[in-house]
Every structure is written in C-alpha cells, then in structure tokens.
Structure 1
Amino acid sequence: MATSKLFSPLSIRDMTLKNRVVVAPMHQYSAVDGLPNDWHLMNAGRFAAGGAGLVIIESTKVERRGCGTVGDLGLWRDDQAEAFRRITSFIRSCGSVPAIQLGHSGRKARSERPWEGGRPLLENPGIADWEDWQPIGPSAVGDSPAAIPRPLAREEIPHVIDAWGRAAARADAAGFDMVEIHAAHGFLIHQFLSPKANQRNDDYGGSDTNRMRFAVEVVEAVRANFPANKPVFMRFSAADGAGWEIENSVALAKLVKEKGVDVIDCSSGGIQGAVNTAAIDYGYQVPYAEKIRSEAEIMTMAVGLIVKAHQAEAILQAGQADLIALARELLHNPNWALQAALDLGIDQPFDLVPDQARWWLEKRAQVTRKLTPPDASVR
C-alpha cells in the first residue's frame, strides 16, 4: 500500500508521536481520594505496551467537588501529581507519549459508578466531605428534577477557572506531555456552552459569545500554566442534539485555536444523551472532525466506532482527521495498534512494542508463517 498515515509520525509543538493511534480517555472509577493506583498503571501500561502512540489518562478532576463518582482521579492537590509519575514514566518507557484529560463534572457530580446504576447520590452513604461535594452548574438546571445543581455565583467562576490552571501545572509536574480539556459529554464546560443547561443572564450566559466565555477562559488558564512547548487538546461534543450544533463548534474551535489549543477531539452528545442513536454507525462522528478541520483550520482527532485498521487509515488518507482515537476497541484488544500495523503491511511492525514482547512475537510470526492454516478440527 501507499505510505501509511496511521503509522507515520506526527509532531505537535515539541511532542512527537510514533504513530496516529490514540488511546481515548476512559473513566475507570477506581481511584481512592483522587489518587491513581495499580489498576491505573496496568490499564494505561497495557495500551502503551500494545503500540499506541499517545495514551490519554481518563478525565481527572480539577476540583474535589468536580468528581463524578468516589472513584474519579484528581489533580487538585500536589500529592496527586506525584502519584502519577510512576504511570507517566512507564508509558514513556514503552515508547508512547503520556497525556491526561482534565475535567469537572459540574451538575453530573456526586453519582454512583455506572455498574452501581449511575444515579445521583441523594443521601450521604458515609462520605466524610459530603457537603463539599455539592454539584454545581451554570444554572439551577439538572439532568433530572431530583438532582438540581447549585448555580455558581458570578464571583465564584474565576476560582473554578483557576483550578484548571493549577491542575495543568500539576499535570506538567507529573510528567504529562499533553493535556486535553474536557469540554464535552454534558460536563461543566459543556454545561456553560449549552443553551439548555446555561440560563444565566450575566456575561457567562445568553448569547453564543457569552456561553463560550467560560470555555475560552479555561483554555487561557491552562495555556498560561502548561509549558508553551507542550500541546493542548480540547474535546468537544461537536453537536449535542440540545441546541449546540456543529456550526457552534466550528466557531468555538476558531476561538480556542487563537488561545493555544492545537487539536480538537470530536465527540458528540451528553446534555441529553446521544445526538441521534438511530444514526450511530461505524465512524459516525468522523464528519464532525472533517468539518471542524476544514472550516476552523485546526487539527482534529476522530473517535467513535473506529474499529479496523483500513477504516482508520482511510479517514486519515481522506484528510478527515489527523489522529484516530479508540476506546472500547482497545479494551477489547490492547494490542490493536500492533494488529493494525500487521493488517496494513507496515515494515517491522513488531518494533511498535517493547523488546520484552517484540522478541517473542517475532518468533511466533516466523513459526506461524510456515504452518498450514488450522481447520475447524484443530482445538
């Protein structure tokens, strides 16, 4: 085949990726007091060892009250930053680049883990700082009548924005080479963007420009506290089916590009579920990445039911995106990057993985190439 784009290097500021395969951030709900543990090391490590170019750690909260569940990761304290260093060092030792998503749940805070039901916690189950874990939002508009957030007072907003900046500085201290700002999926920044969730009548509500103000100022705070030679990504719900449309995302992308965002990670939905579940198909969000890339003239990352190597390669070859992010497909096969390299016929595919795996896998390939394919009788 022609030179693969999926397996060509990409440099953004001083960050260089060995390929365009990105591990999308996936909540694990397994932290204790915001601190990562062995589960997080194993989870991120298997993707790095599997050959992915960029490994993004799950949405890590910039404030304690921004935690969605008791198991959310955090960067609101210095000791949390130190706890991440073992993970960033291991990812880098595998030849991948460590990155982290910074988020705040806003009105989605104080909830059960998904496998516990995902419902809002309406009564204290014995959490010591329960009162400090109060859901907040731009307005007193909740996901349900039973869970109404406390609307932020105008004078509180700068303090929340500052928390993003402090978390970005800690991300740098922890060894991360990129931070992604989570402005999607119905969380706090998206709540400010949404005309449904944001019913303020001050300079953070009303017009499109006012509703974008919080997002833009978060970018300014992050960029001011994260080294200029390191890139910043931003995840959008490019369209949410609740009043925020792709044209709004193009406009926001242009604004945040001027403030120092390098890549838009293009997802959808979140304020009231998926945009249109009937329309979900393989690569269903790719058109968002293509439109924002073209009209805002900024690099984009495509994500959402991208499952095969040739599918990912075609998206890049067509100029629809610059990076390909996978989530559940990588949980199913942490070695997806290696398998994709084999499927695309990349030279020396086993160089993607650490020596401890490369040596054995090359031997396996040498042996299996000589064998007749097994039939159904082989067990």
Structure 2
Amino acid sequence: MSSAKSEASVEALFKPFKSKNLEVANRIVMAPMTRGFSPNGVPTEDVAAYYRRRAENGVGLIVTEGTLINHPAAGGNPNIPNFHGEAALQHWANVAKAVHEGGGKIIPQLWHIGLTRKIGDLPNPEALPIGPSGLNLTGEKITEPLTENEIADLISAFAQAAADAARIGFDGIELHGAHGYLIDQFFWDKTNKRTDRYGGDLASRTRFAVEIIEACRKAVGPDFPIVLRFSQWKAGQYEAKLAETPEQLSSFLAPLVDAGVDVFHCSTRRYWEPEFAGSELNLAGWTKQLTGKPTITVGSIGLDNEFRSSTGDSAHPASLAGVLERLENGEFDFVAVGRALLADYEWAAKVRDGRSDELRNYDTALLSALN
C-alpha cells in the first residue's frame, strides 16, 4: 500500500458521521470492555477519568463497559457497575459530563448476564440465575424457565435504564444482545427451548429483544439512538452460529429493525473473516447490506492476536490497512477498538497523527488497573 493511499485510508477513520439521530465526530468507537472497578456497583472518579482520556485523544463514540439493569440476578460481581440507583446514576452522570468535556459522545451498554451467572454469585447470592429455559450455554438445566410476568419485569428494567440514560445526559444506549448473555440466550436455539411466543424459529426468538427495544423506544422517544450488539459466537463457544446463511440472518434482523434499532454493533473476534461462503463481507458488512442500517465492526482491530478469554492474552500493534479499506468501501460505518484502546488511551490520536511507531502493546497485566 502506498503512503498516499495509507494516509487517505487513515483519514476515513476521522470523517464525521451523521444520521437521523446520531452525530459523531469520527468513526472510532471504544468497544465495551468489562473493567470491574466500581465498588458496590458505583463507578468512581477514576472511571470517569478513564473514559475521558479516550475522548480527549480522539475517540468519537465510547460504549461503556457492561452496566447492570435493575434486577437482582443481572450480574455476578459486586464491582460491575449498576445502571440503577441514585448513587450509581449520579456517578454515571459525572462520567457522561467528563466525556463530553473531552469532546466525545458516550452510551452505556445495558446488560443482564442471564445464566452465565453462577448460583451464589455476589452481590445477591440468594438470587438464582435466570434464562429463557433455565439452560446454561452447555444445555444444562440450572433453574426453571422464566415466566411471562418475569419477562415483563425484565423488559421494564431495560426500559427504565434507557430512560435514565437519556435523563442523565448520555447520547444513546447499547443493548447487550451478544456473547451468550440474557438477550442472546433468547436468540440461541440451544438455550431457548420455549414453546410460547418467546420461542420458536430464529425470527420468533427475537421477540424478547423486540419487546425490549420497543419499550426502550417508548421510554426515550424517537430521536435517542438505540444500538444493539449481537454476535454469532458465545462465551467459550466460538463456533456457535445464530444464522448459517444470509437468508437466515435477514430473517433474524428484520424484526429488530422494525422494533427500532438505529445501529447494529456486530461482534466478531476477527473482523477480516467472511461471515458466509461466497462473499468477503464480514458480519457488519452483511448486516448493513441486509438492513440498510449503520453498523459497527469489531474484532482484533489494531492488534496481531485475537481476543481469548483464557489467561496469557497478549498482542502487538498491527496494520489497519484491511479494516480501513473496508471502511472506505462502505462495508460498515464504524470501527470499534477494544484491547488496543485499553492498552493505549492515545491510540486514536497516534493513528490520526501518523505516530503508529509509538503505539503500545496489549497485555492482560493491563487489566489490573484503570489506565
């Protein structure tokens, strides 16, 4: 690749984005990454500074780490931040203010971990894990299936979190519908064996997410962005698939579009891998083509090694040529950067300014602090 082409490609990352209800200074998104530095579910001043540093250094849109909706079994660690309760919301308001002062936009990722929670997990050891059919990701029955009344309460909790996000100054929300957590457990046939309206074929299994999206839209109005993160893979089950073909993916996406999703955040571990045979398009590329909606790609961007949930994960800076070519070609609209931004809060500024030789390596040791 010539230097002129390389320079033009980098410029593509820094073009403004504007749609009906979302305006962002550039195409760089900070991917959501669980940090666990919020004692008793309340984010600290260090959390605000952590996100602000990224905004000040050129990240256009920050998606926070997963934040827990108001349900006793939403999480499994007392240091994961809540997105409910006066103390947590006040501190999240401070985070949003800090990011805005740094020149960025920010949306919270709203999260319920479902049956990835273990029985007895803190902070509410008495609360049993929940899921559509009471089955964990290996198909083992852990608890009873959710009742429709319980499902209605969960939908209300997501909607309340969305309303609170709008009220305290966030720029949108992201619903975590990926990686085998609660919403994704409804999507996946191995964890959703329901025979009511929340089960059935792939399109029917979107019903829980559809009702969450509709409730959130009612809570925030027409102009507040709703992002949905989804994935084919599940935690520890990287070969899992919701959709085996573009036609199946289309049937999955259509009800979600109709419900009110503005942007799809398409989670893959390696952005360069084709999603289906016969096309070079990745998941974000197919999703944009099938829906016409803006999409976010993600997966090992800027690093030479893909994400692994095991220990010993380390990686070095890598060329952006491939992802930039796809961005220039309009395959997707945003590029989400995870571990590279965790390692180096100046990542976006260094890329913008041609200082790639200064980029820092990633190592799991970085997870021990908010840098």
TM-score of the aligned structures, taking structure 1 as reference length? 0.78
Q: For residues 16 and 328 of structure 1, do their structure 2 counterparts lie closer, same or farther at Cα, with a shift above 3 Å needed?
A: same
- 1:132-173 per-residue CA deviation (whole Å, 9 max, x = no partner) reads x32100012124588824421122111111111001011112
**Aligned partners of 1:235 and 1:95: how far apart in 2?**
24
Check conservation: 1:196, 1:242, Cα contact below 8 A.
no
For the pair shown, which has the larger CA radius of gyration, 1 or 2? 1
Match for residue 273 of structure 1? none
The alignment partner of 1:218 has SS state of: helix
Q: Residue 317 of structure 1 is aligned with which of 309, 325, 328?
A: 328
Match for residue 225 of structure 2? 231
- 1:301-337 per-residue CA deviation (whole Å, 9 max, x = no partner) reads 0000111443432121122110000000111221111
Determine if the alignment matches structure 1 residue 283 to structure 2 residue 272. yes
- 1:181-212 per-residue CA deviation (whole Å, 9 max, x = no partner) reads 11100000100011000111111112223311
Aligned residues: 320
**Aligned partners of 2:203 and 2:267: how far apart in 1?**
21
Alignment of 1:226-375 (within 5 A): 226-238=220-232, 241-245=239-243, 247=246, 248-268=248-268, 281=270, 283-284=272-273, 287-307=282-302, 308-343=319-354
Which amino acid counterpart does residue 266 of structure 1 have in structure 2? C
Alignment of 1:1-379 (within 5 A): 1=4, 2=8, 4-62=11-69, 63-109=71-117, 120=118, 122-123=119-120, 129-131=124-126, 133-143=127-137, 148-238=142-232, 241-245=239-243, 247=246, 248-268=248-268, 281=270, 283-284=272-273, 287-307=282-302, 308-343=319-354
**Aligned partners of 1:245 and 1:193: how far apart in 2?**
10
The alignment partner of 1:84 has SS state of: helix
Query: Which region of structure 1 is more displaced relative to structure 2, 164-173 or 246-255?
Result: 246-255
- 1:63-101 per-residue CA deviation (whole Å, 9 max, x = no partner) reads 232113222211232442222111111100111011111
Q: For residues 306 and 243 of structure 1, do their structure 2 counterparts lie closer, same or farther at Cα, with a shift above 3 Å needed?
A: closer
Is there any run of 5+ residues in structure 2 with no aligned partner, and where?
276-280, 303-318, 357-371
Q: For residues 38 and 149 of structure 1, do their structure 2 counterparts lie closer, same or farther at Cα, with a shift above 3 Å needed?
A: farther
Check conservation: 1:168, 1:222, Cα contact below 8 A.
yes
- 1:38-79 per-residue CA deviation (whole Å, 9 max, x = no partner) reads 331132122112210011111111123211322221123244
Q: For residues 14 and 142 of structure 1, do their structure 2 counterparts lie closer, same or farther at Cα, with a shift above 3 Å needed?
A: closer
The alignment partner of 2:110 has SS state of: strand
**Aligned partners of 1:105 and 1:195: how far apart in 2?**
17
**Aligned partners of 1:344 and 1:294: how far apart in 2?**
34
**Aligned partners of 1:315 and 1:139: how far apart in 2?**
39
**Aligned partners of 1:281 and 1:232: how far apart in 2?**
24
- 1:13-56 per-residue CA deviation (whole Å, 9 max, x = no partner) reads 34321110000111112222321113311321221122100111
**Aligned partners of 2:48 and 2:263: how far apart in 1?**
26
The alignment partner of 2:252 has SS state of: helix
Q: For residues 209 and 311 of structure 1, do their structure 2 counterparts lie closer, same or farther at Cα, with a shift above 3 Å needed?
A: closer
Identity over aligned pairs, percent: 30
Check conservation: 1:135, 1:150, Cα contact below 8 A.
no
The alignment partner of 1:19 has SS state of: coil
- 1:329-379 per-residue CA deviation (whole Å, 9 max, x = no partner) reads 11122111111112399xxxxxxxxxxxxxxxxxxxxxxxxxxxxxxxxxx
**Aligned partners of 1:180 and 1:141: how far apart in 2?**
25
Q: For residues 164 and 249 of structure 1, do their structure 2 counterparts lie closer, same or farther at Cα, with a shift above 3 Å needed?
A: farther
Taking only aligned residues, the RMSD between alpha carbons, in angstroms, comes to: 2.4
